Amino acid sequence: MIDRIYICGYLATAVALTLVHSVPVMVAVLVAALVLAGTDAPRILKRALIAIALVNSVVSISYALAGWLRGSLDLDCLLLVNARVLALTIVTMLAARRIDILRAASFSPALGRFLTVLYGQVLIHRRTYQEMRAALRSRSARRPTARDLYRHGAAAASILLDKALYNAGEIAQAMRSRGLLHD
């Protein structure tokens, strides 16, 4: 029951963060979220910044360049968007750490089965990726360059996508044979 309350609280927070258009309020929410994180705050902040760095950099630079060329750069809007994304990311990371999604979905047996299959696939893909990273490290005589890492990431994404498609077909076939899917 407590997990369902947490999910409702998370969803309400996410909606509220999208409705806030004040930079000071958004910064206050960021500080509150980090205070709630407790001793994990530096680690969560670092992970959140890494997670959003590439996309936010591209969007922010593009927005700033377009505004500068137009002669109407709105720095408050730029700061608000970046603070909102960071706040949503931190709140999502906090929610993911505290909510047991399987327990929260216990009210629906079908949803529980779906999440169990999904969780199993996530674990399989995580392990496959960890094995690929270990293989890269063990087969490299020197530290991999950025180019090596990009190529490895692209190859890993391709392999994981192929594996996901294959597994989806196998799981659908298994569910169909047990009467769980009706096409």
- pLDDT per residue, tens digit, the chain (183 aa), is 788 888 889 999 999 999 989 999 999 999 999 998 889 999 999 999 999 998 999 999 999 999 889 988 888 889 999 999 999 999 999 998 888 888 888 888 888 888 888 888 899 999 999 999 998 888 888 888 889 888 998 999 999 999 889 988 888 888 788 877 666
In Å, how far from its chain's centre is CA 113? 22
- Per the listing, tokens 């004040």 go with 22
What DSSP designation does 99 have?
A: -
User: H-helix or E-strand containing 143?
Assistant: none
Buried b (16+ CB within 10 A) or exposed e, 50-79: ebbeeebeeeeeebeeeeeeeeeeeeeebe
CA–CA distance, 30 with 26 (Å, rounded to integer): 6
Count CB neighbours of 151 within 10 A.
Answer: 13
CA–CA distance, 95 with 3 (Å, rounded to integer): 10
In Å, how far from its chain's centre is CA 96? 10
In Å, how far from its chain's centre is CA 99? 15
